[in-house]
């Protein structure tokens, strides 16, 4: 279980954030709140890119705060695509797993299975320029998910995708929930939240800072 207990963060001369919640494996919790409410800041703090000023953060009882981002049991899917233009889909994905880009035959099969799951069967040897924006987004997602870390942080993963693309991702994320992944989803889109979330919390500005309040 992920336990976030009065985890606090403050930008210099900025707002004070104070977050508390728990998330079980196999569950998806959506985080909503207006623009600038601190949704991305929360995910970046859990991922280890921002250092909290107070509070605790544990996963299955393990303290995550001393760990650098790459040692946390976390996969982050943030908004940018970041594919290498001169490398094909398989090589772009391979580089996410191994800096030399070499994959075992088992890993190649795993990549192909995941690509098929997001509607990209047979796209292994295409260059990014031969993919639509939504297809590139799905390749980035496959690359991130192959890290197979149990806690998945999704920051607006469906932005700019059409309904067909969204369906692929809903199916993928729901399968991941069944496999026991815990998912934190930041989304402005009510249909994404309805399709995926077991619980919703909203970031609310209070006198004590920006807090998380459950609303379903």
Ligand X SMILES: Nc1ncnc2c1ncn2[C@@H]1O[C@H](COP(=O)(O)OP(=O)(O)OP(=O)(O)O)[C@@H](O)[C@H]1O
Closer residue to ligand X, CB minimum distance, 34 or 133: 34
Buried b (16+ CB within 10 A) or exposed e, 190-212: eebbebbbebbbbbeeeeebbbb
The tokens describing 122, both together, are: 């047979």
Nearest to 116 by CA among 77, 89, 153: 89
Q: Which stretch binds ligand X (CB under 6 A): 18-26, 31-39, 116-124, 172-180?
A: 31-39
69 binds ligand X (CB under 6 A): no
- Residue of 19, 21, 33, 165 that binds ligand X (CB under 6 A): 33
Residue 179 has φ and ψ, to the nearest 5°, of -80, -5
Interaction of residue 214 with ligand X, rule CB under 6 A: no
Smallest gap, in angstroms, from Cβ of residue 38 to ligand X?
4
- In the complex with ligand X, the residue whose CB is nearer, 124 or 205, is 205
Give yes or no for residue 36 binding ligand X (CB under 6 A).
Answer: yes
Rank residues 147 and 188 by Cβ distance to ligand X and give the closer one.
188
Alpha helices in 10-104 (DSSP H): 39-47, 89-97
Nearer to ligand X, 14 or 180 (CB): 14
Using rule CB under 6 A, residue 40 touches ligand X: yes
Beta-carbon contacts of 47 under 8 Å, excluding residues fewer than 6 positions away, are: 69, 72, 74, 76, 153
Residue 206 CB, nearest distance to ligand X (Å)? 15
Task: Write down the number of H helices and E strands in the chain.
Answer: 6, 10
- Phi and psi for 95 in degrees, rounded to 5? -65, -25
Burial label, 16 (beta-carbon count in 10 A; 0-12, 13-18, 19+): middle
According to the binding rule CB under 6 A, does residue 41 interact with ligand X?
Answer: yes
Site for ligand X in 4-23 (CB under 6 A): 11, 14-15
Judged by beta carbon, residue 34 or residue 180, the one nearer ligand X is 34
Total residues at the site for ligand X (CB under 6 A)?
A: 11
Write out the residues near ligand X by the rule CB under 6 A.
Answer: 11, 14-15, 33, 35-41
């Amino acid at each position: 279980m992920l336990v976030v207990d009065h985890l606090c963060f403050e930008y210099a001369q900025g707002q004070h954030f104070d977050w508390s919640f728990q998330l079980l494996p196999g569950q998806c919790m959506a985080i909503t709140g207006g623009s600038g409410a601190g949704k991305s800041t929360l995910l970046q703090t859990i991922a280890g890119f921002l250092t909290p000023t107070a509070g605790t953060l544990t996963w299955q009882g393990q303290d995550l705060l001393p760990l650098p981002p790459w040692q946390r049991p976390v996969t982050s899917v943030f908004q940018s695509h970041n594919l290498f233009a001169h490398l094909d889909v398989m090589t772009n994905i391979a580089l996410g797993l191994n800096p030399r880009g070499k994959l075992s035959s088992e890993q190649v099969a795993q990549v192909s299975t995941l690509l098929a799951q997001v509607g990209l069967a047979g796209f292994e040897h295409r260059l990014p320029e031969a993919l639509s924006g939504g297809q590139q987004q799905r390749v980035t997602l496959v690359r991130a998910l192959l890290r197979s870390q149990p806690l998945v942080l999704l920051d607006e993963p469906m932005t700019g995708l059409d309904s067909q693309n969204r369906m692929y991702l809903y199916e993928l994320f729901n399968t991941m929930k069944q496999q026991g992944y815990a998912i934190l989803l930041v989304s402005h889109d009510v249909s994404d939240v309805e399709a995926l979330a077991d619980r919703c919390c909203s970031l609310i500005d209070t006198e004590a800072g920006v807090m998380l309040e459950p609303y379903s």
